[in-house]
Chain A
């Protein structure tokens, strides 16, 4: 088996302390030096993800960036793919779900199964998003996300460097962990970073087209995603990006241990 550089728990723990006060660029630089081409940035074109791409590109223009095309993304997201390619010259890696699994799921449950019941929505997330992500990560030693602590109470303990036990214990790097939303948007304005057009239309979360929508000022942000659901697992709503891992735990607990779709 190929000799790979993966941290152990003690190393990751102490590195997280060491880097906790450091700037995101320091974290990204360390990650790039440490993992090279075995590292990639994961983005779904939220504001935080774009900041990460911009920062990393200024350090290493050849940085790897990937996204999951679930097949149900809004047109604006596809435009973002091309804007990022054009601005940064990055050959964005776009990964799609397994054709066979999508076909089987739709044949059995229909195209808009997610509106019917929570387990079917989770199944759809699983087939279109989680399994492709797992496949990408299985070929990496480390990945970078735009997760931030201030986003939600349950994210308050995010470390800048940690082992990702939802994905084979590879290293997960969260350089913006201690940034605020304000800092993200300041950065975007200062460096003229492209950002998703749906933000200007009242979206607070960017996801699949049928499952996200704009919210009114003052409205609960949870109304922006899966607003029709009753009985969904806690923390698996609006703020449960697949990057957190919490989502996969719920999937396993609800859909079964391997979480493989019973298509």
Chain B
């Protein structure tokens, strides 16, 4: 490992570290009215970066409107909260809204002069955007049916709520080397993707001679982008009462090491885990805590369905929760308001899922049919092919400045094609589609991952294309997929997927998952299946040998 750099060098090399010290980003809040008054174009680019600490990002093009990320800890939202967000979208944001994989809601088209009013409105219903983006603890996610699901180990919502309250706007933890993602759940299916988070607290029951203890296993160092890592087992058991202390200690160890501040490219916690390994990190965490942590040899295994779709009995007698698919994760402000009306009418809440769907809770069994009908009437029918509910696409075009391809519209095209070709037979598949390498829609771990990229046509012209990633998965099948078909021209993607899916449906063994089918076939075989022998642009398997040779 490299020697730790001096803080002087960090400040010299890293303009974001400089910017955070010149004016602490959380202090930008008081200046927003003044920034708005002086006009967008007079705002310094440093201040635009600081606005991220309040969940604000440029829309595209960067000429004065913003995306706003409203944090919903554990995805649990009251009908008043949903109505408020919907009203903001309708009033200030061209009626547009989207659900995210971190259980947030994002709005677009907001102008800076409306932001102070919007923040005040959100505050009145207990919502915030603080630390929605920037080098902070992002929205803390969890199992959306925590506290309701009869099979859960225990209810983790008090822990999530306490952690969210502790970290949001906490200055000590809002100058991290980079963003930090925490998830906490005791869902038997581990529906919250603990593999993909920087830190995951996974509910576990520890049995020893002294009795049974409820608490958490800890996973560290997950992350995606173009350097995907699955989080690793820290090897410890953490008592419920220690959860926040351990989360803090991990953050303290990471944020105080200047090695992870020199370069933004290597700043995420996953790179610290690469360098140290879980055992050495555990020792550092214990040193911070001033005590040893209890050993936990095994991570708890996930079991069950991660989607929470459809009708389920709650642990509360006579009540149900119902998971509704949301097409492409899109929900207009108007739909939010009408949904809030329905929920308020019978007195439940709304839970947002990692798969960009929502769950309505506390529905009296006797009113199920009526409520399902009413929700269908505002555009969320319950009975749709589950491939539509499970698959996700990132924000992408037209909003995101990073995306190089359309995303949600491309996913819609692919889903329509597969549904028309195979009907309900594709119900169990998950497609994760991203418009750039950042992997907001987790393309490394879908049954089929797609990453927008570009290729070149016969005369060198730019071509919209996708990498197709196979063999990825989460839960019991957790692994980072492999980009087996590279730079497939956009127009060919649906047909390639059709061939792969057809091969799986007709030649897969009984009970075999799509991933297992892909694992059982060689790179060349999958390549041949997808292309049906035809050669498109640059779809040859990666030439790893030459790159490896150059590296050594």
Question: Other than the known A169-B453, A234-B40, what 7 A-B pairs have Cβ atoms closer than 8 Å?
Answer: A8-B486, A10-B542, A13-B225, A16-B227, A34-B550, A134-B462, A156-B264
A-B residue pairs in contact (CB < 8 Å), sample of 7: A8-B483, A13-B227, A15-B547, A17-B265, A21-B263, A165-B404, A178-B13
- Write the nearest CB–CB distance from B358 to chain A, whole angstroms: 31
- Write the nearest CB–CB distance from B261 to chain A, whole angstroms: 11
Within 8 A of B (CB), among A228-255: 230-236, 239, 246, 249-250, 253-254
Q: Decide: A249 and B550 in contact? CB cutoff 8 A.
A: no
Taking CB as reference atom, which chain B residue is nearest A254?
Answer: B61
CA distance A225 to B49 in the complex (A): 22
- Write the nearest CB–CB distance from B175 to chain A, whole angstroms: 15
With A152-B15, A157-B264 known as contacts, the answer to whether A168 contacts B456 (CB < 8 A) is yes
- Write the nearest CB–CB distance from A77 to chain B, whole angstroms: 27
Q: Decide: B16 and A153 in contact? CB cutoff 8 A.
A: yes
Q: Decide: A157 and B49 in contact? CB cutoff 8 A.
A: no
- Write the nearest CB–CB distance from B526 to chain A, whole angstroms: 15
Report the interface size for chain B: residues with CB under 8 A from the other chain.
59
Q: B2 within 8 Å of A by Cβ?
A: yes
Q: Decide: B542 and A11 in contact? CB cutoff 8 A.
A: yes
B401 — which chain A residues lie within 8 A by C-beta? 246, 249
Quick one: CB contact mask for A60-77 with B, threshold 8 Å, 1 for yes?
A: 000000000000000000
Quick one: CB contact mask for A132-171 with B, threshold 8 Å, 1 for yes?
A: 0011001100000000011111111111100101111110
Taking CB as reference atom, which chain B residue is nearest A30?
Answer: B550
Q: Decide: A149 and B62 in contact? CB cutoff 8 A.
A: no
Q: A216 within 8 Å of B by Cβ?
A: no
Q: Decide: A253 and B61 in contact? CB cutoff 8 A.
A: yes
CA distance A2 to B380 in the complex (A): 49
Q: Decide: A7 and B547 in contact? CB cutoff 8 A.
A: yes
With A8-B483, A14-B227, A234-B45 known as contacts, the answer to whether A178 contacts B61 (CB < 8 A) is no
Q: B345 within 8 Å of A by Cβ?
A: no
Q: A12 within 8 Å of B by Cβ?
A: yes
Q: B58 within 8 Å of A by Cβ?
A: yes
Q: A79 within 8 Å of B by Cβ?
A: no
B540 — which chain A residues lie within 8 A by C-beta? 3
Q: Decide: B62 and A234 in contact? CB cutoff 8 A.
A: yes
Q: A37 within 8 Å of B by Cβ?
A: no
Q: A5 within 8 Å of B by Cβ?
A: yes
Q: Decide: B263 and A20 in contact? CB cutoff 8 A.
A: yes
Q: B218 within 8 Å of A by Cβ?
A: no
B40 — which chain A residues lie within 8 A by C-beta? 234
Taking CB as reference atom, which chain B residue is nearest A183?
Answer: B12
Q: Decide: A156 and B14 in contact? CB cutoff 8 A.
A: yes
Chain A interfacial positions (CB closer than 8 Å to B): 1, 3-18, 20-21, 30, 33-34, 134-135, 138-139, 149-160, 163, 165-170, 177-178, 180, 182, 230-236, 239, 246, 249-250, 253-254
Give the interface centre of A7, A167, A168, A230 by most chain B CB atoms within 10 Å.
A168
A157 — which chain B residues lie within 8 A by C-beta? 264-265
Q: Decide: A231 and B41 in contact? CB cutoff 8 A.
A: yes
A234 — which chain B residues lie within 8 A by C-beta? 40-41, 45, 48, 58, 62-63
Quick one: CB contact mask for B472-490 with A, threshold 8 Å, 1 for yes?
A: 0000000000010011000
A150 — which chain B residues lie within 8 A by C-beta? 12-15
Taking CB as reference atom, which chain B residue is nearest A230?
Answer: B41
Taking CB as reference atom, which chain A residue is nearest B226?
Answer: A13
Taking CB as reference atom, which chain A residue is nearest B550?
Answer: A34
- Write the nearest CB–CB distance from B109 to chain A, whole angstroms: 14
The residue from A5, A18, A230 contacting B543, defined by CB atoms under 8 A apart: A5
Q: Decide: B62 and A12 in contact? CB cutoff 8 A.
A: no
Q: Decide: B14 and A235 in contact? CB cutoff 8 A.
A: no
Q: Decide: B454 and A168 in contact? CB cutoff 8 A.
A: yes
Q: Decide: B271 and A17 in contact? CB cutoff 8 A.
A: yes
- Write the nearest CB–CB distance from A145 to chain B, whole angstroms: 16
Q: B266 within 8 Å of A by Cβ?
A: yes
CA distance A5 to B540 in the complex (A): 11
Taking CB as reference atom, which chain A residue is nearest B60?
Answer: A253
A249 — which chain B residues lie within 8 A by C-beta? 60-61, 401
- Write the nearest CB–CB distance from B399 to chain A, whole angstroms: 10
Q: Decide: B460 and A138 in contact? CB cutoff 8 A.
A: yes
Taking CB as reference atom, which chain B residue is nearest A12?
Answer: B226
With A17-B227, A17-B266, A249-B60 known as contacts, the answer to whether A154 contacts B45 (CB < 8 A) is yes
Q: Decide: A163 and B264 in contact? CB cutoff 8 A.
A: no
Q: Decide: A178 and B263 in contact? CB cutoff 8 A.
A: yes
A21 — which chain B residues lie within 8 A by C-beta? 2, 263, 266
Q: Decide: B454 and A167 in contact? CB cutoff 8 A.
A: yes
CA distance A152 to B48 in the complex (A): 12
Taking CB as reference atom, which chain A residue is nearest B547?
Answer: A11
A170 — which chain B residues lie within 8 A by C-beta? 456
A13 — which chain B residues lie within 8 A by C-beta? 225-227, 437
- Write the nearest CB–CB distance from B489 to chain A, whole angstroms: 12
What 7 A-B pairs have minimum CB-CB distances, sorted nearest first?
A: A13-B226, A138-B460, A253-B61, A234-B62, A168-B456, A165-B404, A13-B227
Taking CB as reference atom, which chain B residue is nearest A250?
Answer: B61
Within 8 A of A (CB), among B429-454: 436-437, 451-454
CA distance A150 to B15 in the complex (A): 5
Quick one: CB contact mask for B16-28 with A, threshold 8 Å, 1 for yes?
A: 1001000000000
A30 — which chain B residues lie within 8 A by C-beta? 550-551
Q: B538 within 8 Å of A by Cβ?
A: yes
Q: Decide: A235 and B62 in contact? CB cutoff 8 A.
A: yes
Q: B78 within 8 Å of A by Cβ?
A: no
Quick one: CB contact mask for B528-547 with A, threshold 8 Å, 1 for yes?
A: 00000000011010111011
The residue from B19, B46, B454, B546 contacting A5, defined by CB atoms under 8 A apart: B546
CA distance A165 to B487 in the complex (A): 11
